[in-house]
Structure 1
Amino acid sequence: MTDHSAYLATADALIREHRTAQATVTLFDRDRIPLANQQVTVSQRKHKFLFGCNGFGTVPLVNHELEGPAKVWVETYAERLLGLFNAITLPFYWGRFEPKRGHPDTQRLLKTARWLVERGCVLKGHTLCWHTVTADWLLELSNAEILETQIARVRREVSDFAGLVDMWDVLNEVVIMPVFDKYDNGITRICQELGRVGMVRTMFDAARAANPAAVLLLNDFDTSPDYEALIQECLEAGIKIDVIGIQSHMHQGYWGVDKTLDVLDRFARFGLPIHFTEITLVSGQIMPPDIVDLNDYRVSEWPTTPEGEARQASEVVSFYKTLLAHPAVEAITWWDLTDGGWLGAPAGLVRRDNSPKPAYEALSNLIKGEWWLDPVEMVTDGEGRLQVNGFLGEYTLAWAGRTAPLYLDKKGTLSVEVHFD
């Protein structure tokens, strides 16, 4: 078993190795003359790494659907959300996006997407094809019609949102999809006919045709060899998967460093980027281990506790550092900013009243503290150079009332020129 404290020290070193750049930056004025011996302010604006959260609560806010206390609550929610995260997942569950056939919720989501992009967020749509929360009216159709309609739905959403939402969980939970038996649904029906690999190929082809520039994910909660086998079969069949999505709903307790590293190493062998797409760590009672389907756990109340909040904060730091230390991981998405979301769990980084928990503060201290460069005054040398060491991302250089962007987009030692026009 890995020594937790010792590993975190190792993780810090690996994070610096994989996530930072040491850049020699040469500054020029508009006449291409080096800015020698000049005072410059360097400020970080954005991480390259995607620190994400689902942002479903922004939809009613942006569309002005709330008043009074509810409006105040969601405004605070959005402030907490955007104060920490640079990547937001938006909801495209078919049964809610198009509960009545031919009447999709496109305009509300487009308005929300524009609002978030204007605030610097990278967006992902979740999800285009899933057997759960799918449209009930599919059951009125034949299997051939269901397939045709599902393909059209993929093309429509990916096309309509291109330029705003250019990242998609194309299929969700394909491992269980053809054998799902809790209730009848149209997606399981067609997956049984096509098979898992055929289903993935069909939906990825439709999404790729609609937006060739989109980043397409296969996403699953199943971290067993079954998911590995599915990915292997898809790749051998020539299907281009851009990113492997891994869910990590830890209602039954933190995985710990050893399991996390095992999952990372097993899925990194495919040579594809990994996104941890749905992270849950609770700050209350841990769900009993004998629950097989998390959806089966029902309690009248599931409160957060001071002891649980302290545990959650410690686990958040451990999990994020373990993931960030692995070079294959390119995104981490927390699931439910506030308590009382999925399953009613105390799984938020903030409480039901939007007050930050220790976990929110701990994560903020990493993303906007330990892994961030606060504004710093520097002076160029006689050849207009200065040394900027920081996490990969976007920076602003300010000199003599002017600003210019600086991009640290590759780890290690860099030489960069910046021109003030």
Structure 2
Amino acid sequence: MRIHHTSRRARSAVLATVLAAATALAVGVTVSRPGAAEAATSLKSLADAKGRDIGFALAPDRLAESAYKQIADSEFNLVVAENAMKWDATEPTRGQFTFAQGDAVADYAAAGGKKLYGHTLVWHSQLPDWASGLSGPELLQAMKAHIAGVAGHYRGKVVAWDVVNEAFADGGSGGRRDSVFQQRIGDGWIEEAFRAARAADPAADLCINDYSTDGVNAKSTAIYNLVRDFKARGVPIDCVGFQAHLIVGQVPGDLQANLQRFADLGVDVRITELDIRMPTPPTAANLATQAADYRKVVTACLAVSRCAGVTTWGITDRYSWIPQVFPGQGAALIWDDNYAPKPAYQAVAEALGGGVTAPPSTPNTSPSPTTPTPGPGTPVPGGCVVSYVPNSWNNGFTAEVRVRNDGPALTGWTVGFAFTAGQQVTNAWNTTLAQSGAQVLARNAAWNGTVPTGGTVSFGFQGTHGGSNPNPAAFTLNGATCRNG
């Protein structure tokens, strides 16, 4: 497997063969059965094992939201600033740089041992008014100074930069976008930007990034030709980013072939801004198709040895940009508005090599989940409140369980309950879960065992039922009975 390719960094061994995706459309990978091996507990651990990046776009002010931060901390090994490193955010006044928000992203990445991906040095959008009003020679000078200021500030901290973003036109022409840079500087502006970026941060990979280039088409071919020309003439370029803002059911069939043709030019490729939108409210069918689509994208990346990884443009549907730009569309990410993993989460995990553990073929000899061992800080009876929210269809269902701890702080938890109609859990998330007959026992995952007094922890699962799916009547937290909320 390989960590991060560049001509200036060492390459590790070749990526292992992609595992076949499981057919279950589930939302987690931490379910276990007594006597069976547990699956991996995060996308990060799976991607690390593959030597690939799994990233997300971060708005640093959202780290104050505990659910957001918990997922950000545990599920990703790469961070990209959503807006904090763009031109208007870093140089709102010519020559006066502001890095507070960008530094917050960089500090978060460093503190968590995550890679930092830079986005973006030059883009026609979110450009401050002062830059838009410059003449050609002045704009070229300002662009070089901006690159030197921003890339220089983060020199040695960023693994790669989107040096130029969205420089090519929409439609079938394959021509350059008629941006202020193209109008006033001319065709050489992209090359000038890449040369300035190399001077500012010689160790960082330099990428060109664009959308609607995921398949082989006129726009992607125009970028292909530019990259081929740059490589032939020694213009510094190391990678190509494919934004992959996709529509459910429309992943290009030639995505892998397209990534491979760029890789064959001697550059890395990345899926940089992945989301897959659908009409809202989402249907079960569209969520299933979305899961299959996410699996296709990740699998295509893994099949190309120079694909460095996949980054989703955000964490939760709650903060997705899609509904504001495409009214009536949304539900594009792998966690929903309430931070519950969607079927796409399981699909990504499976594509990365995670799996669903099967029931054991040998008799169950594990202790019964009806007698859990209380964890530290066991609350008194009545010191917890549980809400149970199911979503049923045909003979399947998902359920979210939220537990509020009204007792002493916990450093580990077990939640017990029993089904009454033969329901069977098939997958779970944010927990390791065991079922023996009707009895179910959910234990904390590695990252969510600490629950303060008044704090809430949530987990969920997918299962099957025989036509009737009543809620469990009672729940326990570390052996103490909880109130239903």
Query: TM tier, shorter chain?
Result: 0.5 to 0.7
CA deviation profile, 1:29-78 (whole Å, cap 9, x unmatched): xxxxxxxxxxxxxx979446333333322x1146xxxxxxxx4xx32112
Query: Which residue number in structure 2 is paired with residue 329 of structure 1?
Result: 307
Deviation at 1:163, TM superposition (A): 2.8
Deviation at 1:239, TM superposition (A): 0.5
1:14-413 pair list within 5 angstroms: 16-17=16-17, 46-47=48-49, 49-57=51-59, 59-61=60-62, 71=64, 74-90=65-81, 91=83, 92-176=85-169, 180=177, 188-196=179-187, 198-223=188-213, 224=217, 225-251=221-247, 253-256=249-252, 258-282=253-277, 284-285=278-279, 302-339=280-317, 340-344=319-323, 345-367=330-352, 369-370=354-355
* CA distance in 2 between partners of 1:342 and 1:233 (Å): 34
Task: Quickly say closer, same or farther: Cα 1:112–1:244, change in 2 above 3 A.
Answer: closer
Deviation at 1:168, TM superposition (A): 0.5
CA deviation profile, 1:134-153 (whole Å, cap 9, x unmatched): 22221333222222111111
Secondary structure of the corresponding residue to residue 245 of structure 1: strand
Deviation at 1:102, TM superposition (A): 4.6
The unaligned stretches of length 5 or more in structure 1 are: 1-13, 20-42, 63-70, 182-187, 286-301, 372-421
Bigger RCO of structures 1 and 2 (CA < 8 A, at least 6 apart) = 1
Deviation at 1:368, TM superposition (A): 7.3
One-letter identity of the residue aligned with 2:66:
E
* CA distance in 1 between partners of 2:306 and 2:138 (Å): 39
Secondary structure of the corresponding residue to residue 337 of structure 2: coil
- What RMSD over aligned residues (CA atoms) do the two structures have, in Å? 2.9
* CA distance in 1 between partners of 2:111 and 2:149 (Å): 23
CA deviation profile, 1:292-326 (whole Å, cap 9, x unmatched): xxxxxxxxxx4333322222112212221222022
* CA distance in 2 between partners of 1:365 and 1:84 (Å): 14
Q: Which has the larger radius of gyration?
A: 2
Secondary structure of the corresponding residue to residue 354 of structure 2: helix
One-letter identity of the residue aligned with 1:215:
D
One-letter identity of the residue aligned with 1:49:
G
* CA distance in 2 between partners of 1:238 and 1:192 (Å): 25
Contact 2:251 2:296 in 1 (8 A): no
* CA distance in 1 between partners of 2:158 and 2:206 (Å): 11
Task: Quickly say closer, same or farther: Cα 1:148–1:351, change in 2 above 3 A.
Answer: same
Contact 1:336 1:347 in 2 (8 A): no
One-letter identity of the residue aligned with 2:168:
V
One-letter identity of the residue aligned with 2:196:
A
Secondary structure of the corresponding residue to residue 369 of structure 1: coil
TM-score when scaled to structure 2?
0.56
* CA distance in 2 between partners of 1:56 and 1:142 (Å): 34
* CA distance in 2 between partners of 1:241 and 1:154 (Å): 15
Query: Which residue number in structure 2 is paired with residue 391 of structure 1?
Result: none
Equivalent residue pairs, number: 299
* CA distance in 2 between partners of 1:165 and 1:253 (Å): 34
One-letter identity of the residue aligned with 1:109:
G
Which structure has more helix as a fraction of its residues? Answer: 1
* CA distance in 2 between partners of 1:201 and 1:318 (Å): 33
Secondary structure of the corresponding residue to residue 66 of structure 2: helix
